[in-house]
């Protein structure tokens, strides 16, 4: 929990390009901030100008308009630049967001008074290696998933913790999750819910066959290494992004990232349990299925 030194003055509004009402909401927020004597830059979350300005340190707050997917992508951009994010939910579930579509004006009034706190959430640093060659690296908020490709056949995943053998999973996949991700794919795969204040790494197998079928909670200082053993395609997916194809003997490593996600919060720190109960009692995403 971090108390801000001063209210933000340099604000960027990031819009999900396909979210209904996002552009109008951005216009309304810009007009409100202008009335408070502040100029906010507004643009699509994937716009290169917006992204380059965040990377250049031009802003001290991002207002993200969308759903949880928008928040994940905002974190990928903002965390390395230490920019806090205020999410306004225009989507469905909103596990990462506490401000509803019709509550943004009250929330922004509090932000401009400095009446808020910053929640820090652990991220994962993930690497993809082939032999000694590093093919890619990512910092993610929810999880990385090593699993089978399009063919419905399990993969063999040789897992090590800090260089020591753990087991070889025969499964559809293995989720390496943060506490934030424990309420995402890991929860659907049968993993436990971890409060986001923790800094642990969670391993959850997906449909294991005659393998360890229990989730394992690791210390934040641990490093997970997963070697793929397969004669067909496997994949690596980070926070729901497009998957990266893996080959036999490729290795995926995951450890705690040097970056953290910063979220603007107004409720007391125990808000997580109240929100969790309401989300799990009635999943609003289900109502979108026709």
Cα atoms in the 13 Å half-sphere on the side-chain side of 282 = 4
Instruction: Mark whether 68 is an active-site residue.
Output: yes
Query: Of 5, 28, 60, 68, which residue is the catalytic one?
Result: 68
Question: Do residues 281 and 144 make contact, with C-beta atoms less than 8 angstroms apart?
Answer: no
How many CB atoms are located within 10 Å of the residue 97 CB?
Answer: 22
Torsions phi, psi of 211, nearest 5?
Answer: -130, 175
The token duo for 44 is 């699509």
27/285 Cα distance (integer angstroms)? 27
> 285: helix, coil or strand?
helix
Q: 35: part of which helix (H) or strand (E)?
A: helix 22-35
Q: Which residues are catalytic?
A: 68
């Amino acid at each position: 929990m971090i108390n801000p030194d001063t209210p933000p003055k340099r604000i960027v509004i990031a819009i999900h390009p396909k979210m209904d009402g996002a552009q109008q909401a951005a216009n309304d927020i810009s007009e409100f901030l202008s009335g408070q004597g502040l100029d906010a830059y507004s643009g699509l979350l994937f716009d290169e100008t917006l992204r380059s300005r965040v990377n250049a340190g031009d802003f001290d707050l991002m207002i993200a308009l969308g759903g949880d997917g928008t928040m994940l992508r905002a974190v990928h951009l903002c965390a390395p630049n230490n920019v806090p994010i205020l999410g306004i939910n225009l989507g469905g579930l909103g596990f990462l967001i506490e401000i509803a579509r019709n509550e943004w004006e009250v929330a922004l009034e509090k932000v401009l008074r400095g009446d808020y706190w910053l929640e820090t959430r652990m991220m994962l640093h993930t690497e993809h290696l082939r032999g000694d060659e590093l093919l890619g690296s990512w910092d993610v908020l929810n999880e990385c998933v090593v699993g089978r490709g399009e063919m419905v056949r399990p993969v063999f995943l040789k897992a090590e913790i800090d260089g020591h053998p753990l087991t070889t999973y025969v499964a559809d996949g293995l989720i390496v999750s943060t506490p934030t991700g424990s309420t995402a794919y890991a929860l659907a795969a049968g993993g436990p819910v971890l409060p986001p204040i923790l800094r642990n790494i969670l391993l959850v197998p997906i449909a294991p066959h005659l393998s360890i079928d229990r989730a394992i909670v690791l210390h934040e200082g641990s490093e997970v290494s997963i070697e793929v053993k397969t004669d067909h395609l496997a994949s690596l997916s980070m926070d729901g992004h497009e998957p990266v194809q893996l080959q036999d003997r490729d290795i995926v490593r995951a450890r705690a990232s040097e970056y953290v996600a910063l979220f603007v919060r107004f409720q007391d720190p125990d808000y997580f349990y109240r929100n969790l109960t309401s989300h799990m009692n009635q999943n609003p995403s289900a109502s979108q299925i026709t």
